[in-house]
Amino acid sequence: MSASLPLASTDTPLPAAKRDIAPLLLIPVLALLMLPLVGSFPTWVTLTVAGLAMGMMIFIMASGLTLVFGLMDVLNFGHGAFVSVGAFAATLVLLPMRGWLEADSLLLNLGVLGLAVTLAMVVTALLGWAFERIIIMPVYGQHLKQILITMGGMIVAEQLINVIWGAETIPLPLPTSLRGAIFLGDAAIEKYRLLAVVVGLVVFAVLFLTLNRTKIGLLIRAGVENRDMVESLGYRIRRLFVAVFAAGSALAGLGGVMWGLYKETLSAAMGSETIVMIFIVIIIGGLGSVGGCFIGALLMALVANYAGFLAPKFALVSNIALMIAVLMWRPAGLYSKSRG
Amino acid sequence: MPEPLLTLSGVHTHIGQYHILQGVDLVVPRGELSVLLGRNGAGKTTTLRTIMGLWKASAGSITFDGQDITKLATPDIARLGIAYVPESMAVFSDLTVRENLHLAARNGPMDQARVDWIFGFFPALKKFWNYPAGNLSGGQKQMVAIARAIVEPRKLLLVDEPTKGLAPSIVQSLIAAFRELKELETTILLVEQNFNFVRSLGDTVSVMDDGRVAHAGSMAALAGDDELQQRLLGLSLASHQ
């Protein structure tokens, strides 16, 4: 191979690589702006950590949906079903092993929680795989049908939960070691919320590293942008679709367990109750963007928490108000993805 | 004439209710650069997308390297050794230049000697190796798209209107790159509207009109026959000269 050729022009100036950090700055800016309004520093710390914890749980539930939409162009209104199923599947471990949950041992508590989460994620991944094969596959590219059939799927899933577990609300107590709060000065921070922050950060880190440091991640990001071209390079993107759908469902299952423990009760309707919130988050973040979803979830939860403290009536509409404000600033969401 | 690497026989393609390809017959000889000319809407891009399986042929057959690929899925067609550079370039703008090429290297890590060889064609790629491809100019994106197609040896390159909208200096680089690939006996099917770009490059030429191949022959014959050019250009290409 020789290269004795006229050289292509390199004179064309290249725009500097863009690092769009404005959305990222929204979180600290919002938190700092709220400090004088809240007045008390310990209260502000408590509110902020509670908001971050809630945001992390919403992010875990929503991250799968934004990936599924970005890569597969599927509007899965049934995503909430995986949240409910995950939480209820976890009760198959948590309730029979209540003794371990109530033991005064962090190791036993986390062990049983780990088992429950693993079961929930396996069950929801399998359910996601079946859901994609049976419900989604016939309606690829048909958004209206996707909305109708996935909403139908969620209703069926909820009714099946009622058949299997009964229609009554199931209490889900927190493990003993995760009850109560720790104090930083006068600021009380619930232990479970700290765990939620840690789990959320781990999920974000795993997703971030997978998407940015592995070939599978490159394929997912490329597939979000142009599916035809990924196939033209010789990759079977259909298999990737199924894997991402199953992984997204498993994340929803994990989020369901976290959310159920946060609320300390389970009902079959918890999925349909969270789906609106999840959709708002992925719209704010920019459809298909995991980073945008992360920031969107944290923003939404922080705004809701601060509003609940400062202006409780406004808290009822804070999610919608935030979405409108973000879309007026960036109509495609905080981090939009081009689509091929 | 060399044996055919790719043969289309009576290929029809429908897109929705539209009957785009209406019996395309096309032969791409092994080791040669074949040119597909035609006006907008003649069916050139549809022909390439049908070969790649991105749109399915509704009738007829496509044979590549002795194998019927008419019904194969796009990834399977690509894995037989066909690389596709679409008209839109379709670089992954969120990925860096390196990541774009890394994805195209299916068989493992990129061969550094081959990457250096590509840098010989397109030094800009070396300069912007770790920049997001979306930040590049149109010409630089075209370099990425072509580099992606040749980052590993392929039996056939399908290239759709590579000079569209590019500055003359970039077009000269592309001519040089295709000439080098030709010398390496890479088989290329090049769709173009710019006759002046391809007249010195092509070995064979087919001219499409209304979803059919209206003329097929050697480029030398077309380039040297004013009357034939006039007739074909009058038929299809007059507005593009």
| Of B54, B131, B176, Cβ closest to residue A5 | B176
- Looking at residue A339, its pLDDT comes to 37
pLDDT of residue B127: 92
CA distances from A299 to A58, A200, A248, A288 (A): 11, 14, 21, 17
Residue A38 pLDDT > 80, yes or no? yes
Report CB contact under 8 Å: A222, B173. Answer: no
Shortest CA gap A149–chain B (Å): 24
Alpha helices by DSSP H, listed for chain B, are 44-51, 74-79, 97-104, 112-121, 123-127, 138-150, 168-183, 195-198, 219-224, 226-232
DSSP string, A248-282: HHHHHHHHHHHHHHHHTEE-TTHHHHHHHHHHHHH
pLDDT of the residue at A17: 56
Residue of A nearest to B126 (CA): A10
Chain A residues 9-38 with CB within 8 Å of chain B? 9-10, 12, 14-18
pLDDT digits (tens, 9 = 90+) for B79-91: 999 999 998 888 9
- Confidence check: pLDDT of B77 > 80: yes
**Of B130-139, B201-210, B220-229, the least confident:** B220-229
Sign of CA dihedral A309, A313, A318, A321: negative
| pLDDT computed for residue A197 by the predictor | 95
Pick the CATH number of A44-329 from 1.10.3470, 1.10.1060, 1.20.120, 3.30.70: 1.10.3470
Secondary structure class of A319 (helix, strand, coil): helix
Residue A108 tokens, joined: 């036993």
DSSP string, A33-47: HHHHHH--HHHHHHH
pLDDT of res. A243: 92
Can you give the pLDDT at residue A340? 33
Domain ranges of chain A: 44-329
Give the model's confidence band at B131: pLDDT under 50 very low, under 70 low, under 90 confident, else very high. very high
Across A118-143, average pLDDT: 93
φ and ψ at residue B168, rounded to 5 degrees: -55, -35
Considering CB atoms only, which of B84, B134, B170 is closest to A232? B84
ipTM of the complex: 0.91
pLDDT in tens, B183-195: 888 899 999 888 8
* CB-defined contacts A:B, below 8 A: 121
**Alpha carbon of A233: minimum distance to chain B alpha carbons (Å):** 6
> Which residue in B52, B84, B103 has the most chain A C-beta atoms within 10 A of its own C-beta, making it the best mutation to test that interface?
B103
* Residue A230: strand, helix, or coil: helix
| Chain A positions in Cβ-Cβ contact with residue B48 (cut-off 8 Å) | none
Mean pLDDT of A162-180: 92
The pLDDT of residue A2? 43
Is residue A317 classed as helix, strand or coil in its secondary structure?
Answer: coil
Whether the predicted pLDDT of B235 surpasses 80: no
**Average pLDDT over every residue of B147-166:** 92
Give the mean model confidence (pLDDT) for residues B29-55: 94
Average the pLDDT over A222-239 and give the result.
91
Mean pLDDT of chain B: 90
pLDDT at B163 (0 to 100): 86
Identify which of B23, B76, B77 has the alpha carbon closest to the alpha carbon of residue B46.
B23
Tell me which residue of A222, A220, A78, A62 sits closest to A136, measured CA to CA: A78
Say whether A5 and B93 touch across the interface (CB within 8 A): no
Spatial contact of B125 and B97, defined as CB atoms under 8 Å apart: yes
A181-210 confidence digits (pLDDT tens): 999 888 899 999 999 999 999 999 999 999
What is this structure's pTM?
A: 0.80
Q: Does residue A146 carry a pLDDT above 80?
A: yes
Higher pLDDT among residues B154 and A339, named by residue: B154
Q: With an 8 Å Cβ cutoff, is A216 touching chain B?
A: no
* Res A91: pLDDT: 95
pLDDT at A8 over 50: no
- Return d(Cα B220, Cα B228) in angstroms, integer: 12
Q: Which residues pair with B8 in a beta bridge?
A: B26, B62
